[in-house]
Structure 1
Amino acid sequence: MKHLISMADLSPENLIDILDIAETQKQMRLRGKNNDSLKNKSLAMIFEKSSTRTRVSFEVAMSDLGGHSLYLNYNDIQIGRGETIEDTSKVLSRYVHGICARVNNHNTVLELARNSNIPVINALSDIEHPCQTLADMLTIKEYKKKFCGLKLAWIGDGNNVCNSTIIGCALLGIDIHVACPKGYEPRKQIVDKARSIGGVVEITNDAYEAALNADILYTDVWVSMGEEEEKLNRLNAFSSYQINSDIVNKANNDVIVMHCLPAHRGEEITAEVIDGPHSVVFDQAENRLHAQKALLIKLMC
């Protein structure tokens, strides 16, 4: 594994190894200890999109590991003025030890990786968000103590986070049931890939069917960045795909509720649920830090 562009870049063994390292890093931080695994190493962070969790978690991760991060807003570097992605990647490879990129178009991060001799991490694209899935699988491990035999119900948009979740579930033996309106399903290539590695993936238009006996309920915003012009159509299309108390009651009694944040309370999830006893969303958000530390160690040490 040289880069992490897609969850499909990982083997089950790679993924388990990252989660094990993440658990160790989390325990060290709780004890007030850090290590210098990335001392004298630098991470270039290219951001086309705004961010809270991704930017802060990567910057803190590099600092905790003894390294240094450079935040590069897309419009502040020459790539925003016409320099090719190919040239940018080749130049950064001479300066830093790793690149993470949060981009509008998945091809951008692919092009960075193709032209880089250092690790490239997809910190979010329009197709996948593997860093989020690493944190999610760490959270599931903490709460459920296992993966095989679990049922995860994704309710809402079949977006980039959903795509990565599908692959992550397949790698670890979690059955995933995706409920979304017609026309908003996850990418067929993603579903086919997950099934080819042994994953159980069910696609339905019925949120209650997906939620029945689920161990994990997961949702994301209905209107992602860049989709603001579709807002009214999306709000109408997804109106029956909200995670609320009725949906929670269809799941198992010990169900955990996940959301990658930011959340729009009253749209994709009710305040009662996201702030309720089944919610693990802030543990999930914290785990971005620990999972990304593990990923950086895995790729850059």
Structure 2
Amino acid sequence: MKLKGRSLSTLLDISQNEFFYLLELSHKVKKEKRDRIFPKRLINKNIALIFEKSSTRTRSSFVVAAHDEGANAEFLNRNDIHFGKKESVKDTARVLGRLFDGIMFRGFEQKTLEDLIQYSGVPVWNALTDDHHPTQALADIMTCQEKLGNLKGKKIVYLGDGANNVAHSLMIASCYAGMHIVICSPESRRPNDFIIKECLKINKETGSILEFETSPMNAIIDADCLYTDVWISMGEEENKEAKERIELLKPYQINSEIMAATKNKNTLFLHCLPAIKGMEVTEEIFESMNSAVFDQAENRMHTIKALLIATMQD
């Protein structure tokens, strides 16, 4: 697969075959890590980690993945660089592209990421924007493969805010994987129309199914996996709109009643974390035997490592 030098803005940037290649490589590097094998494929590579939004899993995953492969990761937050303020994103990108072999961006606007890709001249990876979260979706599908085996036709139901970045990337990834994905959300929080259109194109090639439902009880029957995310994004906590959204999404909480209604005692529970227990999911479900959230969190590192290797290895 010719991914060297490529950026990852959204999962639509890669083909289905490239998607599966990244997953296969993820499983390989996870086994290497378990066997204490460190091939150091990225020695003398330097990676800039730009954080407009803070994170536990993303920062830790990129740092550990880079270190395991012999690369250096430099953390840059909003106080470290004049990003889009005293210096334009375009100029910052051209400077960082001269100094680093790759750039990770975790922030707000997709446009900022696109500018980094356009002007830096090095691979740029989307570690979360308001519209997409592709590295999370890679870890989600890797976890489903580990727990559910062959994913063709497996039913995954996302409950909650269908208009957010996690739902968007999960839709694309699930369609690539040939799954039956249901986005269960209020009508006002449906996913982006463009992403829906692109997923329907993928479905024609993969045989996957994409459905939308407003009723949790209708959506979850025979689900192999239930997935949710926080209802309020970072920085929105005090917004009036955020409080209204919480009220709107209360019927979409994953709890014991919802889990039992799947009629599948082995239904997997996933959450990208951090979770607000008692809001989008109850403590009981989060800590249950069905929960794979910490396998999912670990897999962020393995899938990120695969992405770094695939796009930067000489």
* Residue 208 of structure 1: how far off its partner (Å): 1.3
Residues 198-277 of structure 1 aligned to structure 2 (within 5 Å): 198=203, 199-228=208-237, 229=239, 230-251=241-262, 252-277=264-289
* Residue 254 of structure 1: how far off its partner (Å): 1.8
Query: Which secondary structure state, in structure 1, belongs to the residue aligned with residue 246 of structure 2?
Result: helix
Match of 1:113 in 2: 117
How far apart in 2 are the matches of 1:41 and 1:64?
Answer: 12
Runs (5+) with no aligned partner, structure 2: none
Query: Which secondary structure state, in structure 1, belongs to the residue aligned with residue 189 of structure 2?
Result: coil
Kindly provide the amino acid, as one letter, of the partner of residue 107 in structure 1. Answer: K
Tell whether 2:304 aligns with 1:299: no
Kindly provide the amino acid, as one letter, of the partner of residue 179 in structure 1. Answer: C
Can you list the C-alpha shifts for 1:205-229, whole angstroms capped at 9, x where unaligned?
1111111111110000111112221
How far apart in 2 are the matches of 1:109 and 1:208?
Answer: 38
Tell whether 2:145 aligns with 1:141: yes
Tell whether 2:293 aligns with 1:289: no
How far apart in 2 are the matches of 1:231 and 1:142?
Answer: 35
Tell whether 2:186 aligns with 1:181: yes
Moved over 3 A (4+): none
Query: Which secondary structure state, in structure 1, belongs to the residue aligned with residue 141 of structure 2?
Result: helix
* Residue 270 of structure 1: how far off its partner (Å): 0.5
Whether the 8 Å CA contact 1:156–1:268 is kept in 2: the answer is yes
How far apart in 2 are the matches of 1:105 and 1:7?
Answer: 17
Tell whether 2:18 aligns with 1:14: yes
TM-score (norm 2): 0.94
How far apart in 1 are the matches of 2:84 and 2:9?
Answer: 22
* Residue 9 of structure 1: how far off its partner (Å): 1.0
* Residue 80 of structure 1: how far off its partner (Å): 5.0
How far apart in 2 are the matches of 1:164 and 1:81?
Answer: 29
Tell whether 2:169 aligns with 1:164: yes
* Residue 114 of structure 1: how far off its partner (Å): 1.1
Which stretch of the first structure deviates more once superposed, 247-256 or 170-179? 247-256
Whether the 8 Å CA contact 1:40–1:67 is kept in 2: the answer is yes
Whether the 8 Å CA contact 1:38–1:67 is kept in 2: the answer is yes
* Residue 246 of structure 1: how far off its partner (Å): 1.2
Residues 86-97 of structure 1 aligned to structure 2 (within 5 Å): 86-97=90-101
* Residue 200 of structure 1: how far off its partner (Å): 1.9
Q: What is the total number of aligned residue pairs between the two structures?
A: 301
What percentage of residue pairs aligned between the two structures are identical?
A: 41
Among 36, 39, 43, the residue aligned to 1:39: 43
* Residue 86 of structure 1: how far off its partner (Å): 1.0
Kindly provide the amino acid, as one letter, of the partner of residue 64 in structure 1. Answer: D
Match of 2:57 in 1: 53
Kindly provide the amino acid, as one letter, of the partner of residue 250 in structure 1. Answer: A
* Residue 231 of structure 1: how far off its partner (Å): 3.1
How far apart in 2 are the matches of 1:106 and 1:203?
Answer: 25
How far apart in 2 are the matches of 1:255 and 1:277?
Answer: 10
Query: Which secondary structure state, in structure 2, belongs to the residue aligned with residue 29 of structure 1?
Result: helix
Among 59, 64, 67, the residue aligned to 2:68: 64
How far apart in 2 are the matches of 1:73 and 1:194?
Answer: 34
Query: Which secondary structure state, in structure 2, belongs to the residue aligned with residue 232 of structure 1?
Result: helix
Query: Which secondary structure state, in structure 2, belongs to the residue aligned with residue 124 of structure 1?
Result: coil
Query: Which secondary structure state, in structure 2, belongs to the residue aligned with residue 193 of structure 1?
Result: helix
* Residue 81 of structure 1: how far off its partner (Å): 3.2
* Residue 12 of structure 1: how far off its partner (Å): 1.2
Can you list the C-alpha shifts for 1:146-201, whole angstroms capped at 9, x where unaligned?
12111110000111000000000111111110111131111111111100111421
Whether the 8 Å CA contact 1:181–1:237 is kept in 2: the answer is yes
How far apart in 1 are the matches of 2:121 and 2:39?
Answer: 25
RMSD between aligned residues: 1.1
Match of 2:83 in 1: 79
TM-score (norm 1): 0.98
